A and B are shown apart, each in its own frame.
Chain A
Amino acid sequence: MARSTSKDAQDLFHSLRSAYAATPTNLKLIDLYVCFAVFTALIQVAYMALVGSFPFNSFLSGVLSCIGTAVLAVCLRIQVNKENKEFKDLAPERAFADFVLCNLVLHLVIINFLG
């Protein structure tokens, strides 16, 4: 049974990889951006675990900027994905404009809270 499980895992992995290769480039770009943002957030959490949470507002501001922009990028991806029936009538330009505006507000608030 172990052998079949590991073979199943490998098959799963391969099928995921080939399915992902079929996604459009712009979605892959958004995924990359989200990964980058989450990775930056994780680095900050690891740093805080190391030195303590002294300027807590700065820590929150840094982590929230990363998580916030990741969330906004995920929303963009949902709205721009052509396979998504729900947002069939929404123009991708409108989605991108929303993304940019929300990010502007987010970063304004973040810089203010950074201290």
Chain B
Amino acid sequence: MMNISRSVSLISLFLLPLLSFSFSVDNPTDRRVLVLLDDLSLKSSHSIFFNTLKSRGFDLDFKLAEDSKLALQRYGQYLYDGLIIFAPSTERFGGSLDSKSIADFVDSGRDLILSADTSASDLIRGISTECGVDFDEDSSAMVIDHTSFSVSDVDGDHTLIAAEDLVKSDVILGKTKIEAPVLFRGVAHSLNPTNNLVLKVLSASPSAYSANPSSKLLSAPQLTGSAISLVSVMQARNNARVVISGSLQLFSDRLFRSGVQKAGSPNKYEKSGNEQFVTELSKWVFHERGHLKAGNLVHHRVGETDEPAIYRIKDDLEFSVEIFEWSGKSWEPYVANDVQVQFYMMSPYVLKTLSTDKKGLFHTSFKVPDVYGVFQFKVEYEKLGYTTLSLSKQIPVRPYRHNEYERFIPTAYPYYGACFTTMAGFFVFSFVYLYHK
């Protein structure tokens, strides 16, 4: 019967030394991010992106991917809270890093930004497959789009595409709409449709396909149209967030600064949507948006304040839970109108939408159903882009005691009346019978 707050406080007590080094949103002071590059010139060619991260308080540690002293953990404690891998052509990481240690890194709840590019190595492809994203098997293929390319494409092979198909989510991409198209030049990947943890953030237009731009196309390409994802995210069950992009140039200063005009469209934009897209996405991936915390699940009978140990059927009860959202600096009250609570025993007997007082408290009241047994209050909240909330609290429900039934049943009043009338009739009759003349 441990609720979330008790288990969290218990865990934090035992793991306090470990927690103080992790990227727990309760301790956001340590925000160290390891940036793996396969070429140190990326520091300057992608400087705008790195500087925006630094200005938000991240501590970036630039290392070459093949550096032999690379380590994510030391003596069981993680040294970094986030990982950015901009090393698409690295075959083997140096030091103690490999695809398994990166998978463990994500399993520990830490976030990852991974970018592939043309000629992505098997190592990078392997890490992406672990996260549910499958790159095109042809290593020389790039995304080509003959109708949605940018007119500033110098090569003329229509591989610099201007993508506009963004996922509709204010939490992942921010409230401000990204007006300009996002420039992309890289490889395609696809997502398994049965995987419900990954999501396409930037998809290709229906006319895109993945093929080698320099050689003639001999057979129909495997990845085509909107099935091609250009940038995907994955939110793991432990709420670690991973961004996987098919293009390293998406993050570069050159594409940030360049204007964009989609072929065939009259709109010319001075600045591409890349910088806004990448900044908002990095805010989401490092939990500055959309990270929820729920706690203080309280229930009691109407009119009381203490939590009873057992309810009776047809009791009126009130239920409340507090949900907060991390804003990057502090816990703000979460405001939404679709959080629901279930009163559950094998199936939900009661399902109610909680109303909020806009200060983080979600509450409702309902009547316990006419069934007795052991129920659970369950709050299961899985909204796109938000952390999943899963709280439950068990409570038994008993039937009426023998003296809690209604004393007199209204339907039976005629029978009560008839019995007493008969008794009165008997009484009157015996007097009349005895004393008549």
List residues of A whose CB falls within 8 A of some B CB: 25-26, 29-30, 33, 36-37, 40-41, 43-44, 47, 51, 54-55, 58-59, 61-63, 65-66, 69, 73, 96, 99-100, 103, 107, 110-111, 114-115
Q: Given known contacts A36-B425, A107-B426, is B415 in contact with A51 (CB within 8 Å)?
A: no
Residue pairs across A and B with Cβ atoms less than 8 A apart, 6 shown, are: A29-B433, A44-B418, A55-B412, A55-B415, A61-B419, A62-B415
The CA-CA distance from A62 to B416 in the complex, in Å, is 7
Whether B421 and A40, one on each chain, are in contact in the complex, defined by CB atoms closer than 8 angstroms, is yes
B430 at the interface (CB under 8 A from A): yes
List residues of B whose CB falls within 8 A of some A CB: 409, 411-412, 414-416, 418-419, 421-423, 425-426, 429-430, 432-434, 436
Whether B415 and A96, one on each chain, are in contact in the complex, defined by CB atoms closer than 8 angstroms, is no
**B420 CB, min distance to chain A CBs, angstroms:** 9
Main secondary structure of the interface of B (DSSP, over half): helix
The CA-CA distance from A61 to B413 in the complex, in Å, is 12
The CA-CA distance from A47 to B416 in the complex, in Å, is 13
Whether A62 and B411, one on each chain, are in contact in the complex, defined by CB atoms closer than 8 angstroms, is no
Residues of A within 8 A of B433 (CB): 26, 29-30, 96
The CA-CA distance from A26 to B434 in the complex, in Å, is 9
Q: Given known contacts A62-B414, A111-B419, is B409 in contact with A55 (CB within 8 Å)?
A: yes
Residues of A within 8 A of B409 (CB): 54-55, 58, 115
Whether A69 and B426, one on each chain, are in contact in the complex, defined by CB atoms closer than 8 angstroms, is yes
Whether B434 and A29, one on each chain, are in contact in the complex, defined by CB atoms closer than 8 angstroms, is no
> Which of B411, B415, B429, B436 is the one whose CB lies under 8 Å from A114?
B415
User: Which B residue sits closest to A34, measured CB to CB?
Assistant: B429
User: Which A residue sits closest to B428, measured CB to CB?
Assistant: A33
> Which of A25, A62, A96, A111 is the one whose CB lies under 8 Å from B418?
A62
The CA-CA distance from A100 to B429 in the complex, in Å, is 11
> Which of A26, A47, A59, A100 is the one whose CB lies under 8 Å from B436?
A26
The CA-CA distance from A43 to B422 in the complex, in Å, is 13
The CA-CA distance from A59 to B418 in the complex, in Å, is 10
Whether A107 and B415, one on each chain, are in contact in the complex, defined by CB atoms closer than 8 angstroms, is no
The CA-CA distance from A69 to B418 in the complex, in Å, is 12
**A65 CB, min distance to chain B CBs, angstroms:** 5
